[in-house]
Amino acid sequence: MNLYPFKFIPILKDKIWGGEKLGTVLDKPVGESKTCGESWEISGVEGDISVVAEGELAGKNLVELIDQFKGELVGDNVYQKFGKKFPLLIKFIDANDDLSIQVHPDDELGMKRHNSFGKTEMWYVVDAEEGATLISGFNKQTSKEEYLEVFESGRLMNILNRENVYNDDVFFLPAGRVHTIGKGLLIAEIQQTSDITYRIYDFDRVDANGIGRELHVEEAVDAIDYNYYDEYKTQYDQTAKEAEIGESQYFITNRLLIEESIKRNYSTFDSCIILMVLEGEGSLKFDGGSVSYKLGDSILVPNSISSVLINAEFPSKLLEVRIP
């Protein structure tokens, strides 16, 4: 069987801080939900494995695809390293309210405590309401002892770095960085395959039953990077037709602006390619056929497809992700 670019059925997650933009902006099938916070686009997380939406392999899940096609799908090196575990989790996030202040463990701590990868992630701001902010890291050098003293005295917000956020901003968040997505942000998120979150503070919110969400204060202490960094927002040329906006040992991300069409040669990469559509619509032509795309789509291009021609019927903005 010839492989083709895959779209998957979105896995939708209601959240206490979620809103309606995943439905109204990205056309996700949220139904009557007013608090849909996440659309897991491509997931290999146990219990939330993505299922193919279209084509000959519709109904197959991602683990079954990797098991059947191995390196043809994900790349030989990726398969040798990760086996049937897809190493990335691709999401859209709608924050109608601030998320909790949180941190994620690195690979070493994640494996030790949870038999899980750590969670390094990247955010691309699809849409930011006026005045939107987020938190990334500390605004000063601190230490475990100072952090605990500030936290216990209720002054945590005083040492956190808050950023004003605009459309097309990019933030890279290595495991260990304290962070939160702020109210009014629609974000594309690329991260390691992990659902391990240590919730530090949740603004004293309670659910319909008056119960607050669990906090993980003690677990977080050993996961936090207490260093201060000069720059938390990724700087790149926002007018460039092609811009590399994120590079790490886990994923490499480009942002593409396409007015009419562009050919992408993937023959030198030993990896599948993930395309997230942030604007526009059109089609991907490949040797063997074509698939349409529209705003909100996430498409996995198998490693066996060496090139695609992206034809934009309407000017398009895409994220292009691969596994190093």
CB count in 10 Å sphere of residue 244? 13
DSSP 243: E
C-alpha 91/C-alpha 181 separation (Å) is 14
C-alpha 258/C-alpha 240 separation (Å) is 10
CA separation (Å) from 134 to 26, 94, 130?
Answer: 21, 13, 13
Residue 155 among the catalytic residues: no
Q: To which residue do tokens 């191995």 refer?
A: 70
Tokens of 179: 């962070």
Helix residue spans in the chain (DSSP H): 21-24, 62-69, 71-74, 76-82, 107-114, 144-152, 217-221
CA separation (Å) from 285 to 167, 270, 317?
Answer: 29, 20, 17
In three-state secondary structure terms, 282 is: strand
- Identify the active-site residue in 177, 199, 264, 322: 199
User: 101 φ, ψ to 5°?
Assistant: -75, 130
**Residues designated as active site:** 199
